[in-house]
Each structure stands twice: as C-alpha cells, then as structure tokens.
C-alpha cells in the first residue's frame, strides 16, 4: 500500500527529497543518556580502553573534548596529553576545567539506542539506507514536499533556504522524534540528492538542520572547501590545491577533461559532485566488501613509536566498526603513504573469517615492520573479505579438521592483485601466503 501524502507534497516528476541523518558524537551522546551529569562536559569514549588506563584509541570525542585537540582514532595516550582525565590520575597541577571524562566502548548499549533511532527512521521514510550505527539516508519524497509553507515564513534552518519549506518541517519532525524516543541528538541535511544532503548534515553541527532546496545546490556548495566534498580526503584536497582548485566552486568551473587526466574516472565524479550532480537513488543498505580507516600526520614521521601508536588506534577503530556491523573478516591489511605520495599496501589472509581485534592489531603491526625506518605521511588499516555469518567464525586452531599453525599455500582470492610479497610467520590461524595489494582504499575511511 502506498504511503499517504501530506497536503502539498511533491508530484512524482518533482525532485526527490533526501535527508541525511547523522547522530552527533553518538557514543558520547549514549554515555550522556546513561549519565546525564556528563551533559556539557568533555567526554571521550575509547576502544580497547579500560577505566584508568592509557591504552586504546578514541572512538568518539564530544565537541567539548574536540576543543582540546582530541580526535577520533587518536591513541588514548595522546588524547590524555591534550585532555587529562577528570579523576586526576595525570600530571599534578592541571586545571580541573581542562579535564575530560573517559569511558570504554559499550557497544551493546549503543546498539539498543541505535535500534530506537532506526525505528524512528523507518517509521518516517519508506526507503532508508543505513550507512552505519549512527548515519542513514532517507528518501522522504512521498512524505513531504519542497513547497513553501503558506504564509511565507522565513526558514529557520541553516543553508540557502530563505523561505520555510514543507521538507524543513518534516526534517524537524524527524529530529524531534529521535530526541524524544531515543534520547540522543541528531543533525540533518535536506537536499535534492545524497551527496549534497550528506554535506548539509555536517554544515551546522551539533543538533543542526540545513536545508538546500532545488536550484540552490550550486550556490550552497560553491564556497565550501574541496575537503568538505564527500570522497575528497587530505591527499586529494592537496593535489587539487596544487592545481589552484581550493573550493567546490573552483572544482565545478574546472575542465573535466583535465580532472580526468589527473584522477582518472574519479576526476569526473568529483567534478559532478562539486556541481551538485548526483542522480543516485536512496537504496536499502547493501553489505560492505571492506572496512578501513586512515590517519595523516601533520608532517612525515620516521620514528617507529608514533607510527605504531597510530596503527594500534586505527586497528582498534576498524575492528570496532566491523563488530558494530556484526562482520567477520578474512583479510587484514595496512596502507602506508610515503612522501611525496607513494602508496604502499600490504595484507595478510587468514584461513577463515574471524572477529578478533587483537589479531587485527597484531597483523597490522607486523606488516608495518617493513616500513619501520621509512618516513611516512599517512597510515591506514583495512579488513576485507567480509562475512556476515557468525557461525562461520574460525576457531583458535583453524577450521574443524585443520592443524593449528599450518599455512594455507594458496593465495587468498579477494579480487586484489598479488604484489609478490609472502609471509612465513606462524600464527594462531592458518594464514594465506599472499599479501594482496589493496586497491579499494577510500580516503575518508
């Protein structure tokens, strides 16, 4: 049965209405839901972190914590240098106004809150694309419209909308329901397409609403830095800057043929996104083929410990993301970018799918050893060959009937080319001998 339309909603031939819902510092918001006294306080949620310790990595930092330089995927030890714990276990004499509350990840609790959020989203839209535990796209074209609200009231949202639209009211309805029924804040971007809606949701955080009506997309995107476009990471932004392209407006005005010569087919895609051209439909979420996370150094680093600390943090983050999606993985890899932009990838395959954060860290650090004395400007960790069947998980002795520690002589076939490197290290699992070159890394992780 077709969903009922609200009065004044758009006809089928009109432009679609996409909402991008992005939960604000979701893990930290969940902790505040459980501990209301944390409201307004700097909160850091750590992966692989236990109370009072310095190990682990930052999963989420509240906006108050970010003001002190704490960032996602940062080692807890580094976060503590920026923002000591509120319990006073760090250096004496630190102003208590510049301390933070540290909490370990409680994924099961966060999932219960996320379930409440998803219940609202699926009730508010016929088509929902869940991107992660804290992010989703909604197609609400059949629920509301771009029509101005009768009376010509000015828009109360951020962005280029001058007049209040029906879509703005519907988005506020979604935000208010999430707050009322799940108890956590969300920011929402409203636009005629997915890529613009995603940028809009990040435009007025936290607890923000940004509306970009049809006909205003180029106006909205033009002054933004290229780094704010979806799919443009630090490396691409730097390469664009070297061509004199600093803003989305510059990119939209560039020669698409030259962009394609520089970036291949991706150059055409970046050109289209800068112009607001995105005809993708919101479709229900498919399962990812891989999960990765990357982090760039402000300056190239040669010393071993900063590189190892970063890889530990990235490994913890990627393993946590896999666990939040109930995904097992058979391949673990790293990405190492050396100056100026030389990309190296290494990976190791297991005999069967696992969910083992400590193994992700172990293998990632082992693979990093090849680069221990080399200058590095960026590092990444990736898990791939994903499986979503919990019953398929390998045991510590390998699969039933397999002898522990015996290597699989065949290369893991995950669609990546073998780069000729092999591994002979013993392991708790049977590992594939190939270290495949990873060719699907994304810059925004």
What are the catalytic residues? 135
Say how far apart CA 148 and CA 164 lie, in whole Å: 6
The CA distance from 386 to 388, in Å, is 7
Other C-beta atoms closer than 10 Å to the C-beta of 408 total 18
Cβ-count burial 360-397 (b if 16+ within 10 Å, e if not): bbebbbbbbeebeeeebbbbbbbbbbbbeeeeeebeee
CA distance 259 to 266: 8
What does DSSP assign to residue 14?
S
Looking at the DSSP bridge assignments, the partners of residue 422 are: 434
Q: How many CB atoms lie within 10 A of CB 252?
A: 20
Question: DSSP H helical segments within 127-247, as ranges?
Answer: 166-181, 194-201, 217-221, 234-242
124: how many CB neighbours lie within 10 A of its CB? 20
Ramachandran region, residue 14 (left: φ > 0; alpha: ψ -120 to 50; beta: rest): beta
What is the CB neighbour count within 10 angstroms for residue 59?
28
Count the Cβ atoms, other than its own, within 10 Å of residue 283: 12
| Peptide linkage before 268 cis (omega within 30 of 0) | no
Query: In the structure, how many helices (H) and strands (E) does the chain have?
Result: 13, 14
DSSP 46: E
Query: Strand (E) positions, 48-92?
Result: 57-61
What's the CA gap between 421 and 366, in Å, rounded?
13
Length of the chain: 445
Measure the CA–CA gap between 196 and 230, rounded to whole angstroms.
Answer: 9
What are the structure tokens assigned to 359, written together? Answer: 């193994």
Residue 49 neighbours by CB under 8 Å, 6+ apart: 55, 56, 57, 76, 102, 104, 105
Across the beta sheet with 43-47, the strand order is 57-61, 43-47, 101-104
């Amino acid at each position: 049965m077709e969903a009922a339309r609200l009065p004044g909603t758009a006809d089928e031939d009109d432009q679609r209405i996409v909402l991008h819902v992005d939960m604000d510092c979701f893990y930290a918001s969940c902790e505040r839901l459980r501990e209301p006294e944390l409201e307004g306080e700097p909160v850091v949620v750590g992966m692989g972190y236990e109370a009072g310790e310095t190990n682990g990595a930052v999963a989420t930092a509240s906006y108050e914590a970010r003001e002190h330089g704490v960032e996602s995927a940062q080692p807890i030890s580094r976060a503590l240098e920026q923002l000591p714990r509120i319990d006073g276990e760090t250096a004496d004499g630190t102003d208590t106004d510049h301390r933070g509350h540290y909490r370990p990840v409680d994924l099961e609790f966060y999932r219960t809150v996320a379930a409440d959020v998803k219940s609202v989203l699926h009730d508010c839209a016929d088509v929902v694309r869940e991107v992660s535990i804290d992010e989703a796209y909604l197609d609400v074209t059949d629920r509301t419209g771009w029509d101005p609200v009768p009376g010509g009231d000015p828009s109360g949202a951020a962005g280029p909308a001058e007049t209040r639209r029906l879509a703005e009211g519907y988005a506020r309805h979604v935000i208010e329901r999430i707050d009322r029924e799940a108890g956590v804040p969300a920011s929402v971007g409203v636009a005629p397409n997915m890529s613009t809606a995603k940028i809009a949701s990040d435009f007025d955080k936290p607890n923000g609403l940004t509306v970009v009506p049809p006909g205003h997309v180029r106006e909205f995107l033009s002054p933004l830095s290229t780094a704010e476009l979806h799919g443009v990471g630090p490396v691409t932004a730097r390469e664009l800057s070297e061509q004199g392209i600093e803003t989305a407006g510059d990119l939209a005005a560039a020669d698409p043929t030259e962009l394609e010569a520089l970036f291949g087919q991706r150059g055409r895609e970046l050109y289209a996104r800068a112009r607001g051209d995105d005809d993708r439909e919101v479709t229900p979420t498919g399962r990812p083929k891989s999960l990765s996370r990357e982090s760039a150094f402000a300056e190239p680093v040669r010393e071993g410990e900063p590189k190892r600390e970063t890889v530990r943090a990235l490994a913890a983050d990627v393993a946590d993301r896999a666990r939040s999606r109930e995904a097992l993985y058979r391949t673990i890899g790293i990405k190492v970018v050396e100056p100026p932009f030389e990309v190296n990838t290494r990976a190791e395959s297991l005999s069967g799918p696992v969910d083992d954060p400590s193994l992700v860290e172990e293998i990632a650090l082992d693979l990093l050893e090849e680069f221990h004395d080399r200058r590095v400007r960026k590092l990444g960790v990736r898990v791939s060959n994903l499986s979503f069947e919990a019953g398929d998980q390998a045991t510590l002795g390998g699969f039933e009937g397999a002898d522990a520690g015996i290597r699989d002589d065949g290369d893991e076939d995950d669609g990546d080319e073998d780069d000729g490197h092999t591994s002979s290290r013993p392991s708790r699992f049977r590992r594939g001998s190939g270290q495949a070159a990873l060719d699907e890394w994304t810059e925004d992780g």
